[in-house]
Structure formats: structure tokens, C-alpha cells
Structure 1
Amino acid sequence: MAWLHQSRGSPRLVLVVVCVALLLDNMLLTVVVPIIPTFLYALEHPSPKPQAAQPSLIPLPSRGAPIPGAPTERSPRSTPLVSLFDNSTFRLQEVRTDPTPDPQLNGTTNASDSSCLLDGAFLEEENVRVGLLFASKALVQLLINPFVGPLTNRIGYHIPMFAGFFIMFVSTIMFAFSGTYALLFFARSLQGIGSSFSSVAGLGMLASVYTDDEERGVAMGMALGGLAMGVLIGAPFGSVMYEFVGKRAPFLILALLALFDGALQMFILQPSKISPGSVEGTPLLTLLKDPYILISAGSLCFANMGVAILEPTLPIWMMQTMCSPKWQLGMAFLPASISYLIGTNLFGILANKMGRWLCSMLGMFIIGISLLCVPFATSIYGLIGPNGGLGFAIGMVDSSMMAIMGYLVDIRHASVYGSVYAIADVALCLGFAIGPSTGGALVQAVGFPCLMVFIGVINILYAPLCFLLRNPAVREEKMAIIDQECVMHRKSYNTQKESRDFPLSDYSEEEETEE
């Protein structure tokens, strides 16, 4: 405990807290991906009404006359049934299901497999409803972010971080016990409020404790690695737990993780303490007028829009075309999650050396190509390559752009980071709001393959704009401050060098010799 009190506020422990918060947020974000479509399908899909469920009662004619519908070689078997009202004998004719698929049922590649016969019309409607439910989190987060950024500039990062934990805990409990679409929608929207507080305050706190640009890039990569780990664990964890344990189990486990995050914040961050910044931050509207910040935000938005569209539409597309069981609906995102984890950690270090603008541009090209390849998959194994490339490329863009936005504030505005990371989070929310909310309707209108082509081409066309971030212009007043810091750094370096070359003991010995 003594070590913990002495280490409060250290950059490494702050990084741990932010990683755990992002891990929890994104586990809750993705754990619902394989659960919600199948849960709503089982909850709201109308029960099938084959003709066998409503048997026709055919009265028997007099003896010797031919019996209509009597069992023959081509007719199904019949079962005698005696009426309790007038003692007349009836036969309950059982109707066999025609092996030919109903045109109203969307078959799959194997029409003989009865598990593939799903209600295509219902699934198309569910695409829209699931997309709106997934987008509600991002829409609410989008509305809250502009207020959270300036708030962190006034009261510090600690209280908003703790508020994010508490709201996230309540949202997780609601997911566990919600049994209707309305309650699930409310829980998802509530998660958006908690996510806004956690992500904006967490990233701003990291940028403030890691002042060196290179160290900040590495820290951002590691924090996004926590985010990636949440995405990595969430979908497979949710699908497996839902298949073999039940709907509540994964959310209750996440609630325990949220309690751990809250305890960690209480010990390390002291959330009861208000600690406003000593420098007044740049207004949010001023930052929004900066073209370099807008290009960076657009890159974050379009890069994440592809995977945001895949979250609600890919599981339903797999149910329609691959007859995938429930556990595969989450496992399909596993390659993207693993490669995103690798990409964020790898390019958190490499991006500064090879150029963050170049990493972002290459990443957006790879995203576009990966999305174009998704519709060619005919099984879950065919999704490994496209989803893996998609996750790796998004990791390249995210780790580079998060560091670039902090650097842009340093060289062009006041070095206060709450507002700029609110803009970054708004960009991510736009991608995760526009993608799911419009994806279901676009799938219904043009089809899943055409939608993937559309989003892939957008990423490829936007990629060259990252070249403009190669040498961003420095504001004149910031240039004067940077020059002054360079002069001070040079003087300090020369002083240290002189003290090494001519130690004080040598001066004293020479003076004594002269005397």
C-alpha cells in the first residue's frame, strides 16, 4: 500500500488505468455483437406456422365409399380421432413439409439443410433494427463529447474518468437483465455516455503525463492495445458464453471487471480531487477550424466505419449465406481483433520513425482492399484474411492519428488535450454511428456485397489526403515558444557538457597549484 501511495500519478500507473478503462468499454462494445442478433431473432421472430400445426378434420363417408385423403402410396399417414361431441369418427391428416424451399424463405447455399431456412424478410428488417441499436451508443457519445472535452479542461481528468466507470457499470447490469428491444436500446445509449467520459478523459490524461512526442506515441499505442484487447476478447467471449452458459453470464463478468476498474481509479487517480489545468485550452470551435485536425479526424472516421458496418451486418449475412452457428458469429471478428492488437502496438513505435502520415495512408489503402474482399468469403475461414487485414490496417491508422492529434495541438494550439481528443472521439463515433445506422438500410437496398465495395472505395479515395499531414505548418506564436525551448535546452546541454569536460575538482586543484 505504501508503494501504491508513493506511485500515485506516475505515468505508468495512469497508463494502466486508461488501458483497463478502454478494455472494459470495448469488451462491452463488442460482446453484444454476436448476442443481440440471435437474441432478438429468438425473442421476436414469429413462430413458424406450417400446415401440420393446423390439421384439417375430414369426416368419414359411409362404408364402402372412397375416403378422401385416405392413406395411399402418395398420401401421408392418417391418425384416427374420435369426436367427443357426436361420436362421429374423424381422421387427423398430417401434412408433410414440402422439401422444396418456400420462396418466402431465404435459403442458403445448401437448401437441403433445414437449419439454413431462415425468414429473409424478417432478417432484412432486423438488419435495420440491430444497426440502430448498435449505432445508439455512438450517437449518444457523439452528442456528449463536445461537453466532456471542455469539462476536463476545467475540473481535470480524474472525476470524468470515475464517472465513466460508474455509468459503464450501470449499463452492463442493464444489458444482463434486459429482455426487450427498448431496454437493450437504453442500455446501449447509456454506455455511450460512460464511454464518452472514459475515452476523452483517458486519452487526454495520457497526453498530459507523456509530454515527449515519441513517448506519447508509444503510450497511445499501448492504450489502444487495451482497446484492441477488449475488441479481441469481446465478440468471441460473448458468442461462446451465450452459446453454452446464457445471455446474462458475459455481462455479469464484465460488471465485475468494471468494479475492478473503479477500485483501481480510487487508489491511483484520487477522483475526488479537482485538478484543473494551469493553461487555458483552445476552444473547441477553433480546433474544428484547423484543416490538419479535420483531416486526421476524417481518417479516423472512415477507417473505423468499415468495421462499424460489419458489426451488425456480417453476423446476419453469415446466418443467411453460411448457416453459421451462434459461436461462429463472434469468432468471425477474432482475426480482426488479433491483428488490431498487433498493429496498434507495432506502429505505436514504428509510426514515428517511418512517418505517421505514411502509416495512415497505407492503412487506409489496406482497409479498402480488405473490405472489397469480404463478400468473396463462402465460409468463416474465408473471412480470416480480409478481417485480419482490416484489423491490422485500422491499428495502423488509429495509433498514428491519435499521436498526430496531440502533436498538432502542441505545435499549433495550447497544449491542453481534452478538446482535441473529444474531436478524435467524435470522429470515431461518427464512424460507428453512420455505419450501423445506415448499413442495415443499405444492405436492404443494394445488398451486402455492394455495401462493402462502397465503403472500401471511400477509404481508398480518402487515403491520399493523409499526405497533407507530412509537414504541418507551425503557428508563429508556437514557433517562438518552440525556439525558446530549444535555446533553453541547448544551454542546459552545453552547461552539462562543460561540467563533464571541466569538473569542479579540477578547477580547485589548479587554483591551489597557482597559489
Structure 2
Amino acid sequence: MSFLEPTEEAHRSPTVAEVTELQIMGFVVPILNRDFDEIRQEVRGRIKEEKWQRRLVLIIVSTALLLDNMLYMVIVPIIPDYLRRIGAYKVKYSYQLTNDTVGSENGTEYFVSKLHKIKEYESEDTSLGYLFASKAIIQLLVNPFSGALIDRIGYEIPMIIGLVIMFSSTAIFALGQSYGILFFARSLQGLGSAFADTSGLAMIANRFTEEAERSKALGIALAFISFGSLVAPPFGGVLYEFCGKPVPFLLLSFVCLLDGFMVFMVIHPKTQRAETGERIKGPTVFRLLLDPYIAVCAGALVTANVSLAFLEPTISKWMTDTMPTVTEWQIGLVWLPPFLPHVLGVYVAVKLLKRYSQISWLLAAVGLGLEGISCFIVPFATTYTGLIIPLSILCFGISLVDTALLPLLGYLVDTRHASVYGSVYAIADISYSIAYAIGPVVAGTVVANLGFFSLNLIICLSNVLYAPALSFIRSVYSYKPFENDSDGDYKRDVSFNESEFYGSLENQHFDPKQPGHQYAYDQNRDINSNN
């Protein structure tokens, strides 16, 4: 009997004889001509290959960062209108008397007085500011502890924890119908981000150990961060307008859940374990911040992201006041065109770092300079197109800074501490959180008291004045990883021009028992030397 005929076992896998019959008949169908168990085993084997593991890690982390930044920005066009609709604010009315000219006769103008009733929402700006900033504040407070936990238990489990928390917070956002519930959901998202973002960046640094590959992988992740921030407002606004508040949040929560399940495909059973079977103890966040090189990098990341964090909550109102012809949808899409220069900046930085690996500090300094110049130009823009140009330069500069410094943080812990990355990328996440925690509050206060131009001047000066400080880290590549010589002794290859070196190796402690996972300590060395 041919297995093409209907049988009661239609769903069973074809036998070897049936496959042979198909092949004789001329039917060579991929998958169907093979045993499903064989296919399943082949897929599992392929997934376990290091090359595919790294690709999966990059997909998972990029998706997590995309989701986090979409969740951060998707509420911008939704929550202000929704809170007004549900009566979250006390409403008060004020009256304004205006005189309108209705005509003139024999040189005499006739006026009509009109009394306008103005509806005001009490404490709306303050309430929205606290709601928007709560995520970054919680993330800032939790990051030191999440970084330590990641170093202790590995990267994958904290990633799953973060994605589950983000899923829960997004679902609460979809169903919440009061200011208190939405505030709780926003704060809960900060808790999830502290685990997901930090473990994601650390996971990339752990799996991509070669410097050029690490820069490329982190650059791709940064592109997804930018894309999430820029595409979220139009995504949320359109779905909110036509489908209601729950739909955009439910879609994002589903992707969170899917991404969490994918993490199980890349879990390492012996993540961060040395040959002794013991987990390497990494330095704490506070100890890493005492490293002047890491401190300078962290300060640069804060400074670079202050510009975006300060402009995002203030530029919409400034455009409304200075560009009367600009429509609401144009204001909502003002950050979308600069996405392309951001991706271009990532591409340029990755290519330059691959060829000239020691110019990270210079790329970051140039990026800060471009940010400062662009922020100074922004207040002078009088048209929508004229505004897009400095904003594009701004995003290009930010991408140079981030793409140059994030891989450098991984290199610093590889060569000066231990190759566990939770705490150092918690510092990077803290840097972003500081900028976005103070942005909605400080920027609004500065604009209200000093004006929009003064805000941009402050941003410009902070970026330009900080840029020279990056020359301090130009000697970081003088440090080389631990190497094991032929006699079994551990030594560090340090070759540099001392005249160009800003620090000194004196009083710096390099413990061979605390190297990274690729520099495992041979506990038998002492035994062999005694023998």
C-alpha cells in the first residue's frame, strides 16, 4: 500500500520504505521525506552550535531592548489623553475676556467682547512628569543590586526575570484604569528593565569575546534601542486612535512573553564557571566606579544621553509655540527621520573601531562635540525641515558615543578586573537612567524659568566641556589580557609608551585568581611547583 492513500495513521512519520517509494516516484520534498525525530535532533544540534547560539543571543537581547524602549516611549501619545478621559485630574475653569474687531465704518472700528471659558487640569504637568520619570528612577535604584545578582547567578535567568516583569507591567498598563495603577505599572517596568537591559548587554559581552565582533553586536543592539524609542510614539498613537488603549500594550506584552521563552534556547549550564567548577567573583558596581577609566566612560554616557532626555519632553511645546504651521502628526514624527543618521553612526563607528580599535575615546569625543553643536543650533530652526537637520546630527553623535564606549566597558573589565559583565553594564544602565530620571523634571523647570534657548545652551556647554575628559582614557588599550606562559606562570603583557600613559601600574592589583572566564586559574600550579 502506498502511504499516499488515506490511512488511520496519516499523521505518523514516513518509514524508510515509504520515503524510498516517494523518491522513486520523483517526489523529493524537504522535511516530508525525512523522519521528524531526525529533523528535531538536527535543529537542536544546530541551535547548540556556538555560531547559532551567539546569533540567538543577539536576536533575544535586541528584541528585549527594542521592547523596553518601545514601552518607555509608547505611552507618550496615549497616557496624557487617557488620564484626561478617565478624570484623573481635578478640573478648574478660568475665564478670559477678548475684544474682537467685527468691522469699521467711517474710520470707527466696532468690537465685540467675548468671554472664553478655559478648562484647566490641576497638577497635570507634575503628575505626568512623575509618571514618566518613575521608570528611570526605579531602574536607577535597582541597577546596583541587579548587576551584583547577574554576576552571581549568570545572565540568562535575570533576563527571564526581567522579561516576565516587563510582561506583567505591560499587561497592567493595558488593563489599568486609574493613575495609581498606571504609576505602579510604570515603576514595575523600571524593575524589569534593570534586569533585562543589564543582563542583555552583559550577555552580548560574554558571548562575543573578540573586540570587533563585540563592537558590531553592541552596535546592532543600540540600533534597536534607537528604533524602539523613535517608532513607539507613532505606533502607540495610531493603535490608540483606532483600536483603543489596551491593543498596543497587549501586542508588546505578547512579544515580551515570546522573547522570554526564547531565552531558554541559549541558557548555558555552566555560565561564568572556571575550570575549578566555581563561579568567578566579579567586582561590585561601587568598586568599578572607583576605576577612573570606567568612571569617565559612565560620565560620558550620562552627558551624551542628557541631550535626548532633556529635549524629548520639551521640544513638542516649543514647536507648537514657534512653528504655528506644524501639525500634531508632524510633531509626533519629528524624531523618526533622525533614526537613519543614528543607524549610520553605528555603522561608521563599528567600521572604524574594527580597523582602528584604539580610537574609541576619539569617536566618543567627536560624538559629544557634534551633540553640543546640534543642540546649540536647534533653537534657531524656524521650519520643520530645518529642525530635522540638527536633530539628525544629534542622533548621529549619540550613536558614536554609545557604540564606542559600550564595548570599551567590556574591555576594561576584561583587562583590569574580572570578565564578568553584570556590574559594569549595570553602570551603563545607571548612566542612561540618571539622564532620563532627571530629564522630564529638570528640563521643564529650566524651560519655564530660563527658556528653551537656555536649556539648549546648557546642554551644548556640558557636552563640549566634557569631551576633552575622554582623552584620559586613550591609554586603556595599553592593558592586555592575562596570558599563560609555557612554564604555567601567569603574566600580563603590558607594552606601552609611558609618556603617553596617564595612569601608572603602581598600586594596581591584578589577581590571577580573578581573571575572566577565558583566563581560568590553574589551581594545580602551586602543587606542581612544590613537586
Q: Does structure 2 conserve the Cα–Cα contact (< 8 Å) formed by 1:34 and 1:326?
A: no
**Residue matched to 1:200:** 198
Where structure 1 has 5 or more consecutive residues not aligned to the other structure, the ranges are 53-72, 75-95, 106-117, 485-515
- The alpha-carbon deviation at position 192 of structure 1 amounts to 0.8
Change (3 A) 1:49 1:128: closer
User: C-alpha offsets along residues 63-117 of structure 1, whole Å, 9 cap, x if unaligned?
Assistant: xxxxxxxxxx99xxxxxxxxxxxxxxxxxxxxx98579x7x98xxxxxxxxxxxx
Q: How does 1:41-60 map to 2 (within 5 A)?
A: 43=87, 44=89, 46=91
- State the match for 2:315 in structure 1: 314
Q: Are the aligned partners of 1:128 and 1:439 in contact in 2 as well (CA < 8 Å)? A: no
Instruction: Tell me the CA shift for residue 287 of structure 1.
Output: 0.9
In structure 1, how many angstroms separate the alpha carbons of the residues matched to 2:477 and 2:323?
51
Of the three residues 3, 21, 30, the one matched with 2:64 is 21
- TM-score of the superposed pair, with normalisation by structure 2: 0.73
In structure 2, do the counterparts of structure 1 residues 252 and 483 end up closer, same or farther at CA, with 3 Å as the change threshold?
Answer: same
Shift of 1:214: 1.5
C-alpha distance 203-304 of structure 1, shift in aligned 2 (>3 A): same
Distance 1:28 1:276 in 2: 31
Select 1:239's aligned residue among 237, 245, 256: 237
Secondary structure of the residue aligned to 2:475 is coil
Q: 1:301 to 1:190 in 2, by over 3 A?
A: same
Q: Give yes or no for the alignment of 1:337 onto 2:339.
A: yes
Aligned to 2:434: 430
1:394-450 CA-to-partner distances (Å, cap 9, x unmatched) read: 111111110111111122111111111111111111111122232222222222221
- Is contact 2:309-2:440 (8 Å) kept? yes
Corresponding position of 1:372: 376
Distance change >3 Å, CA 176–CA 24, structure 1 → 2: same
Matched, 1:288 2:289: yes
Matched, 1:420 2:420: no
Partners of 1:476 and 1:337 lie apart in 2 by 36
Give the aligned partner of residue 446 of structure 2. 442
1:127–1:441 CA contact under 8 A, matched in 2:
no
Q: Which has the higher contact order (CA 8 A, sep 6+)?
A: 1
Distance, in Å, in 2 between the alignment partners of 1:297 and 1:244 is 42
Instruction: Indicate the larger mover: 325-334 or 458-467.
Output: 325-334
| Matched AA of 2:132 | F
The structure-2 alpha-carbon separation of the partners of 1:280 and 1:475, relative to structure 1 and needing over 3 Å to count, comes to farther
Whether the 8 Å CA contact 1:239–1:327 is kept in 2: the answer is no
Q: Which residue of 1 aligns with 2:394?
A: 390
1:135 to 133, 143, 147: 133
User: Rg bigger for which structure?
Assistant: 1
Q: Distance in 1 between matches of 2:240 and 2:394?
A: 26
Cα distance 1:205–1:51, how it changes in 2: closer, same or farther (>3 A)?
A: closer
Aligned pairs for 1:344-355 (under 5 A) are 344-354=346-356, 355=359
Which residue is 2:209 aligned to? 211
Cα distance in 2 for residues equivalent to 1:293 and 1:162? 28
In the aligned structure 2, how far is the partner of 1:386 from the partner of 1:462? 20
On the 8 A contact 1:127/1:313 being kept in 2, the answer is: no
TM, length-normalised to structure 1:
0.75
Q: Which amino acid aligns with 1:179?
A: Q
- The code of the aligned residue for 1:187 comes to A
Deviation (angstroms), 1:348: 2.4
The 1-side partners of 2:353 and 2:79 are apart by 37
- Separation (CA, whole Å) in 2 of partners of 1:372 and 1:390: 10
Contact 1:27 1:234 in 2 (8 A): yes
Distance in 2 (CA, whole Å) between partners of 1:41 and 1:368 is 37
Deviates more, 1:131-140 or 1:332-341: 332-341
Residue number in structure 1 paired with 2:252: 254
* CA distance 1:446–1:127, change in 2 (3 Å): farther
- AA paired with 1:156? G
Distance in 2, matches of 1:373 and 1:40, equals 35
Larger CA deviation: 230-239 vs 160-169 = 230-239
Report the equivalent of 1:183. Answer: 181
1:316 deviates by: 3.3
Distance (Å, rounded) in 2 between the aligned partners of 1:184 and 1:297: 31
What is the DSSP-based 3-state SS (H/G/I as helix, E as strand, rest coil) of the residue aligned with 1:334? coil
Q: Give the Cα separation in 2 of the matches to 1:131 and 1:211.
A: 40
Candidates 479, 483, 488, aligned match of 2:493: 483
Distance change >3 Å, CA 19–CA 481, structure 1 → 2 = farther
How has the CA–CA distance of structure 1 residues 225 and 191 changed in structure 2, closer, same or farther, with 3 Å as cutoff? same
The offset of 1:185, in angstroms, is 2.0
Q: Distance in 1 between matches of 2:241 and 2:56?
A: 36
Query: For 1:377 and 1:190, how far apart are their aligned partners in 2?
Result: 38
Shift of 1:281: 1.1
Q: Does 1:174 align with 2:187?
A: no
Q: Deviations over 1:205-236 (max 9, x none)?
A: 11111111121111111121222221232122
1:477–1:5 Cα change, 3 Å: closer
**Residue 515 of structure 2 corresponds to residue 470 of structure 1:** no
Q: 1:444 to 1:39 in 2, by over 3 A?
A: farther
1:133 is displaced (CA, Å) by 2.0
Partner-residue secondary structure (3-state), 1:33: coil
| 148, 151, 170: which one aligns with 1:150 | 148
Deviation at 1:473, TM superposition (A): 7.1
Identity, in percent, stands at: 42
Q: Which residue number in structure 2 is paired with residue 33 of structure 1?
A: 76
2:476 aligns to what SS in structure 1?
A: coil
Please, what is the CA RMSD of the aligned residues? 3.1
Per the alignment, do residues 244 and 352 of structure 1 end up closer, same or farther by CA in structure 2, a change over 3 Å counting? same
State whether residues 238 and 330 of structure 1, in contact with CA within 8 Å, keep that contact through their aligned partners in structure 2.
Answer: no
In the aligned structure 1, how far is the partner of 2:153 from the partner of 2:355? 35
Q: CA deviation at 1:38?
A: 4.1
More displaced, 332-341 or 450-459? 332-341
Contact 1:356 1:401 survives alignment (8 Å): yes
- Partner letter of residue 236 of structure 2? G
- Counterpart AA for 1:294: A
Match in the other structure for 1:458: 462
Which shifted more, 37-46 or 449-458? 37-46
Hey, what's the Cα distance between the residues in 1 that align with 2:391 and 2:142?
31
Q: Say how many residue pairs are matched.
A: 425
Q: Which moved more, 1:13-22 or 1:33-42?
A: 33-42
Taking a change above 3 Å as real, the CA distance of residues 466 and 353 of structure 1, as seen in their structure-2 partners, is farther
CA offset at residue 321 of structure 1?
Answer: 4.2
Aligned to 1:297: 298
Tell me which amino acid in the other structure corresponds to 1:330.
G
Say if 1:128 and 1:198 are closer, same or farther in 2 by CA, change over 3 A: same
The equivalent of 2:44 in structure 1 is 5
Contact 2:176 2:182 in 1 (8 A): yes
Cα distance in 1 for residues equivalent to 2:245 and 2:382? 28
Q: In the aligned structure 1, how far is the partner of 2:413 from the partner of 2:478?
A: 10
Counterpart residue identity of residue 453, structure 2: P
Question: Contact 2:415–2:481 (CA<8 Å) still a contact in 1?
Answer: no
Quick check: which one's helix share is greater? 1
Alpha-carbon separation, structure 1, partners of 2:457 and 2:43: 52
Cα 1:264–1:456 change in 2 (3 A) is same
Unaligned 5+ segments in structure 2 are 1-39, 104-110, 275-279, 484-489, 495-531
